[in-house]
Amino acid sequence: MAIFGFKKRKDDKLQQSAVQTKAAAAKGAKKHVVVAKKQESEKHEKIVAAAPVLITKPSKVVAVPLESFSNVSEAIIRPRVTEKSGILSQSGRYTFEVTRNANKQSIANAVNALYKVRPIKVAVLNTPVKNVFVKGRHGKVSGIRKAIVTLKKGEKIDFV
């Protein structure tokens, strides 16, 4: 269906991209792509080999690759201080806002690095985006990813 020339423009773009890829292949660009892929795989192998071995539980050794975070403590954005998290903190559970690509091991390592305590358990959950209607306007409250970290009895974190 060619309403307002939409389909025609789309077909032209496809033809132009096909011509460009043929021209690049004729010039030998394929060799460069293969070399780039080899370098990328070697780089990945170096990163994985250089990953430190971090112990989260006494019986389990976990290797956390350094690809996602340049610093261990970058997994945590900030502590989440609410009324509910204040009540949970009395029983040894602390709530943090974390980055989207943070996993449980990286969060546990970040808590260990920042607060010098060893977490027993880490629960991670995503809060959804919520639609709101305030002062006659529609809007959205952004969703976050948060982690609830459980510590041993007697250990505390001070957010001051």
CA angle 45, 49, 55 (to 5 degrees): 135
Letter for the amino acid at 28?
Answer: G
Ranges of residues in the chain with a pLDDT under 50 are: 1, 29-38, 43-44, 46-64, 66-67
Burial class (CB in 10 A: 0-12, 13-18, 19+), 83: exposed
What domains lie within the chain, and their CATH numbers?
A: 28-67 (no CATH), 70-151 (3.30.70.330)
What does the mean pLDDT of the chain come to? 75
| Prediction pTM value | 0.55
Residue 73 has what pLDDT? 81
Residue 18 has what pLDDT? 59
Residue 115 has what pLDDT? 93
Residue 32 has what pLDDT? 45
* Each residue's pLDDT tens digit, 118-133: 999 999 999 999 999 9
Structure tokens at 160: 């001051």
